[in-house]
Amino acid sequence: MRRGLVFLLLLCAPLAAQMPKGFYAWWGRPEIRKDLKLSNEQQRQIRATVTQFRPHLIELRAEVNKAEIDLAAQFDHDPVDQAKADQAIEHLIAARSDLTRTLSQLSLRLRVALTEEQWQQLQRLRPAPGQGANQPNEYPQQK
Amino acid sequence: MRHWTELDFQHWLYGLKDEDSHLAQCAECRGELERLKGQRRRVVAEPEVSQDFLAAQRRSIYGRLEAPRHHWHTWRWVLSAAMLLILAVGVTMQLRHKPAPAISDEQLFSDLSAIEQSAEPRAIQPMHSLFEQ
């Protein structure tokens, strides 16, 4: 049983490494498009995928922000209503989970549009921890 | 013998020139003058309208004046209400479909990344001070 859990964790580790942490709009940066040597068809496919996901992502961002505000309101409430606070926590977890799922699905769709080499190159350009999502490793901040 | 010119005929038509002795001698100018006289008579003549026609017209006007206006009043309010309703529905739909303010991919995904990278809700961040030091 324990061995199975360890195996499962090991299996999940690479997946977690590729989760959309440090996610940034790399497809909108000309230097990255050039570096990856994206074809016109790839660029069209990527743009179409992002355009398809955008409305839902905007909704999810609003949903998470609303859930954060609701939870903060429950924390500020005196006396604290345990049931409502629990409900707000569950709502926030659900919204964040939905966001993670959607971002992961988008990442996967974008990954499929890339070749293995392009994917590896994009990984190298991924922002370093603490560097911020707006600034990938090898390029300065865009103005 | 000098024939009447076009200007002479025009002056005669407007009463600025009298008939003179030339017309008695010249059949051509007299003929033209008679033609103009006939034309003027036709232009200024009252149109021939029968008494029956005028009577029927009067009856029609009185009939419309005496008809109850209640019918039109009702429809006027119904039409006004319908127009207001259409306007209200249009404005509501316009507001409902008002596009959200545009946000760049850069900003959107920066926000999403920040949410993803924050491990805990904002509401519990003040609790950190309890565990510091």
C-alpha closest to that of B23 among B7, B39, B38, B12? B12
How far is Cα of residue B3 from the mean position of the Cα atoms in its chain? 53
How far is Cα of residue B129 from the mean position of the Cα atoms in its chain? 73
Q: How far apart are CA B74 and CA B79, in angstroms?
A: 9
Amino acid at the residue A63: E
Q: Which tens digits make up the pLDDT trace of A72-90?
A: 999 999 999 999 999 999 9
Per-residue tokens: A8 = 């499962």
pLDDT band at A143 (very low <50, low <70, confident <90, very high): very low
**B106 contacts chain A (CB < 8 A):** yes
Q: Output the pLDDT for position B98.
A: 67
* pTM for the whole structure: 0.53
Which residues between 71 and 100 in chain B have a beta carbon less than 8 angstroms from any beta carbon of chain A? 100
**Is B77 buried (19+), middle (13-18) or exposed (0-12) by CB count in 10 A?**
exposed
Residue in A closest to B122 by C-alpha: A68
* Portion of chain B with pLDDT greater than 70, in percent: 91
- Inter-chain residue contact B123 with A61, CB threshold 8 Å: no
Q: ipTM of this predicted complex?
A: 0.72
Q: Which tens digits make up the pLDDT trace of A24-56?
A: 899 998 999 999 999 999 999 999 999 999 999
**B27 contacts chain A (CB < 8 A):** no
Q: Which tens digits make up the pLDDT trace of B8-26?
A: 999 999 999 998 899 889 9
Q: How far apart are CA B39 and CA B25, in angstroms?
A: 23
Q: How far apart are CA A33 and CA A12, in angstroms?
A: 30
